[in-house]
């Protein structure tokens, strides 16, 4: 029974890792998405076979989401159909259906947090090795040809693109701005943990430090929102989380005052002009077809973006609005807000801050329909794999 219990626990971790991997781990999402998609299907089928069928309410939600997707594809067929994109999103939705129907949100939070703390520690070590001290290449580090061009990387750490190392911590993910999304969400989960959870303080400190090493403008803003969401929460988990949040804000203020990451970007430095153009131009295109959009899985993307002088759009939410239309995007965001409210069990103000954090992430990075966001649309079970299997009622 001990061996069986360990196997279940490892499978839990594998499932949550696959959710993270399909949402942004560069080696799996960008370089090996066909293999990752197959792993999603196989993992989902294993969950279904060994643990239980999906919840009825999640099946209904899945059918509703697929209905919107296929209607959008049909209405915008004139713009072409990217069949690979449709297949990938169907794989991701099937996996989300299975994992949410057979795992509790509390279990998901715990495992997600543990995985991201491990990733944070690994990424900081790699960042110090290749960027800060420039000791040597990492084991297995080499140049890979990715869809966006050559990238210098190891399977477990993205060093940089053609211009050399980022000089910032990107971890498993495509760039530091994508890395911070997962770190800050893990921080929200850590701050929400019971004060008696083992290693809680250590995890919070590790995550705060790692977000700072990303030197991401959006990351710093989201870090402030995540910390404030804990300060203004009325959850009775002791004062240690709030104290750490205040200390974290002080540290963040110190680094921002010294490095001026946010103020430099707001003054027009870095990618400011590109991002502003992507945002205003993207939403301008979306407003020209607010009901049905231009097709989320269209093939003439470059032609449509060229109207506003956009190359590869960096604003994920604007991209989604262009694809699905404004109406669907508003419904999507409202559904995410209700999902956060339901499962974080926090005060209204804290929920709004976490929701604002997610909106910032969507607007700053591509991929507003990644599993890390869509998971808030589904209903999580009240039990976990084995226990769910023993429960014959699947409502």
| 7 vs 9 pLDDT, higher one | 9
User: Of all residues in the chain, what percent carry a pLDDT higher than 90?
Assistant: 67
Is the model's pLDDT at 269 over the cut of 70?
Answer: no
Least confident among 6-10, 46-50, 115-119, 370-374: 6-10
Give the pairing of strands 164-165 and 157-161: antiparallel
CB atoms within 10 A of CB 46: 14
Reduce the DSSP state of residue 359 to 3 states and report it.
Answer: helix
Torsion of CA 311, 69, 22, 189, to 10 degrees: 100
Task: Give the span between the Cα atoms of 227 and 191, in whole angstroms.
Answer: 8
pLDDT, position 259: 78
pTM of the model: 0.93
Band (pLDDT 50/70/90 cuts) for residue 364 is confident
pLDDT tens readout for residues 79-133: 999 999 999 999 999 999 999 999 999 999 999 999 999 999 999 999 999 999 9
CB 378 within 8 A of CB 226: no
| 259 vs 355 pLDDT, higher one | 355
Is the model's pLDDT at 5 over the cut of 60?
Answer: no
Residue with tokens 């269209």: 298
pLDDT, position 2: 45
First to last CA, the chain: 29
pLDDT tens readout for residues 293-323: 999 999 999 999 998 888 888 899 999 999 9
Is the model's pLDDT at 393 over the cut of 60?
Answer: no
Task: Give the span between the Cα atoms of 96 and 111, in whole angstroms.
Answer: 16
Reduce the DSSP state of residue 40 to 3 states and report it.
Answer: helix
pLDDT, position 245: 84
Is the model's pLDDT at 354 over the cut of 70?
Answer: yes
pLDDT tens readout for residues 207-233: 999 999 999 999 999 999 999 988 877
Is the model's pLDDT at 196 over the cut of 90?
Answer: no
Q: Angle at CA 151, nearest 5°, toward 145 and 157? A: 120
pLDDT, position 1: 44
Task: Give the span between the Cα atoms of 215 and 303, in whole angstroms.
Answer: 33
Q: What is the mean pLDDT of the chain?
A: 89
pLDDT, position 392: 42
Give the pLDDT mean for 260-272: 69
φ/ψ of 182, rounded to 5, equals -75, -35
Is the model's pLDDT at 390 over the cut of 80?
Answer: no
CB atoms within 10 A of CB 317: 27
pLDDT, position 255: 84
DSSP string, 154-208: ETTEEEEETTEE-SS--TTBSSHHHHHHHHHHHHHHHHTS-TTSTTHHHHHHHHH
Give the pLDDT mean for 157-162: 89
């Amino acid at each position: 029974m001990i061996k069986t219990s360990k196997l279940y626990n490892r499978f839990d971790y594998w499932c949550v890792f696959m959710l993270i991997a399909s949402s942004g781990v560069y080696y799996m999402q960008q370089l090996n998405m066909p293999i990752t998609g197959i792993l999603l299907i196989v993992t989902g089928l294993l969950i279904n076979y060994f643990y239980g069928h999906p919840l009825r309410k999640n099946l209904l939600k899945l059918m509703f989401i697929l209905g919107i997707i296929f209607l959008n594809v049909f209405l915008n067929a004139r713009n072409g159909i990217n069949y690979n994109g449709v297949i990938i999103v169907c794989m991701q939705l099937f996996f989300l259906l299975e994992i949410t129907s057979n795992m509790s949100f509390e279990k998901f939070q715990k495992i997600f947090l543990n995985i991201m703390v491990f990733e944070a520690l690994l990424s900081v070590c790699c960042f110090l090795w290749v960027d800060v001290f420039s000791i040597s290449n990492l084991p297995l580090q080499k140049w890979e040809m990715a869809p966006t061009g050559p990238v210098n990387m190891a399977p477990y750490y993205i060093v940089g693109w053609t211009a050399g190392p980022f000089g910032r911590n990107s971890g498993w993910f495509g760039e530091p701005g994508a890395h911070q999304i997962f770190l800050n969400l893990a921080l929200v989960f850590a701050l929400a943990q019971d004060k008696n959870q083992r290693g809680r303080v250590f995890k919070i400190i590790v995550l705060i430090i790692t977000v700072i090493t990303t030197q991401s403008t959006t990351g710093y803003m989201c870090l402030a929102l995540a910390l404030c969401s804990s300060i203004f929460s009325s959850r009775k988990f002791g004062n240690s989380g709030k104290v750490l949040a205040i200390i974290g804000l002080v540290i963040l203020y110190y680094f921002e005052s010294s490095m001026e990451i946010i103020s430099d970007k707001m003054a027009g430095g870095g990618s400011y002009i590109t991002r502003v153009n992507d945002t205003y131009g993207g939403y301008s295109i979306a407003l020209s077809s607010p009901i049905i959009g231009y097709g989320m899985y269209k093939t003439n993307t470059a032609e449509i973006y060229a109207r506003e002088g956009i190359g590869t759009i960096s604003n994920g939410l604007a991209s989604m609005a262009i694809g699905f239309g404004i109406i669907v995007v508003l419904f999507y965001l409202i559904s995410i807000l209700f999902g956060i409210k339901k499962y974080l069990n926090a005060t209204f103000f804290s929920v709004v801050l976490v929701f604002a954090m997610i909106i910032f992430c969507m607007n700053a990075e591509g991929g507003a329909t990644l599993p890390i966001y869509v998971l808030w649309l589904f209903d999580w079970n009240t039990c976990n794999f084995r226990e769910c299997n023993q429960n014959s009622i699947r409502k």
